[in-house]
Amino acid sequence: MKILRLSYVNLKRMSKNKGNLVLMFIMPLVIILGIHFTTSNTDHNLSIDAAFNIEDKGEYGEEVLKSIGFEGDIFYNDNGALKLLEENKIVALYTIPSDFTEKIKSGEKPQIKTYKKEEGNVTTSLEIKLNDEINNKIKEEILLKHNIIKDKGELYKFKGRTLIQDEDTSSISGDSYMAILMIIYFIILSSTGIGEEIIKLKKQNILFRAMTTANKGYEIMGSLFLSTLFLLVGSNLLVLILTKIIMGYSIKSFFVVFLNIVLASMFSITLTIFLIRISEDLTFVSMTTAIYSVASFFLSMIAASSDFYSDVPNAIINLGKFMPQYWLMDSIENSSLFPNVLVLGLMILTLFTAGSYRFKDFVNKG
């Protein structure tokens, strides 16, 4: 096929660009390993510099913290816990509300107030475990309420009998979550290479000459898309495998992770193509991509952990659900493909269509 032949030519040219290879492979690898080794002491036992203030009138407030193995400071109805945060002795303070147990027993998800001086991913593993444990407690209560089980002991006996069979479907680990999250972040950030290629090909009149042949606009754009996709997916799969070997984390479902890396790469490439059609200024494209990467990262994290951001307006939380990272990490965390793949596919198709529209006019312009 013509598009594959063009893709191969583009791939050979792009693989010679050392700057792209550094951004796509070396930088993600170094930063992921750096974060892992600097936080490894705290990630093992959840002794992260965080504290909990329990105002719960029931038993689940304490029970949940024991279940996740939290070993930090715990206060009871103590507003003075905020002093630790103000004195920079902790990075986050979580307040378990008075109706925590009551809401869980009624099948509702309680809101945990979070106080942080600055946002970051240091507490991500703690919040994931806490969120999972709260969900488990709610499931227990729902099963009891509908007489599916007579007591909680039945549920844990069942879990014990199926532990070996279900080992691969256990919750995603903190190290695995952090590594995959950072890989996706760098995928969104590193696709500016295709922007450089398009602008360079246009300035050298290579695109113009290609358009005067039998090559169609979508074939030229498709070949650039495929060659960049191969580089992004290949380099980030290598990062994933190396970090897995070095850090020793397990991957919940390799197929789901692989598919989401492909989808993240496709979104990143089509986003850059779309930005190039808006402006041919490479500085604008690079800056916009960088700003979007950071903003969408934090918005998606807020949307995914909305229980910990009770003071954030609903408009911001809902905006985070329009970010690709939200759907990518939800798919990976829950090993689910629907509706995530459909939503991401529509995002990618929209950007690619907008970027390829009237491509001939773009080539002939200026």
Give the tens place of pLDDT for each residue, 3-25: 777 777 777 777 776 766 777 78
φ and ψ at 111, to 5 degrees? -95, 130
CA distances from 339 to 238, 343, 357, 358 (A): 27, 6, 27, 31
Residue 286's Cβ-side half-sphere holds a number of Cα atoms within 13 Å equal to 9
Q: For 274-329, what is each residue's pLDDT tens digit? A: 888 888 787 888 888 888 988 998 888 888 777 666 677 888 888 989 999 999 98
Outline where the chain has alpha helix (H). 2-14, 18-21, 27-43, 60-67, 82-86, 100-105, 124-145, 152-161, 174-190, 192-203, 206-212, 217-247, 254-278, 282-304, 314-320, 324-334, 340-356, 359-364
User: Hey, what are 86's tokens?
Assistant: 């103000």
CA distance 103 to 127: 19
Integer Rg of the chain from CA: 24
Say what the pTM is. Answer: 0.68
Q: What is the pLDDT along the chain (366 residues), one digit of tens a residue?
A: 677 777 777 777 777 767 667 777 888 888 888 877 876 554 444 456 788 999 999 999 999 998 888 888 888 887 677 888 888 888 888 999 999 999 998 888 888 888 876 655 567 767 877 887 888 888 888 877 777 666 655 555 444 433 333 444 445 667 788 888 889 988 888 766 666 767 776 777 666 666 666 666 567 767 777 888 888 899 899 999 999 999 888 887 899 999 999 999 999 988 888 888 888 787 888 888 888 988 998 888 888 777 666 677 888 888 989 999 999 988 988 888 889 999 999 999 998 888 766 666 666 665
For residue 111 the two structure tokens come to 């809101």
Name residues whose C-beta falls within 8 Å of residue 337's C-beta, 6 or more positions apart in sequence.
256, 259, 331
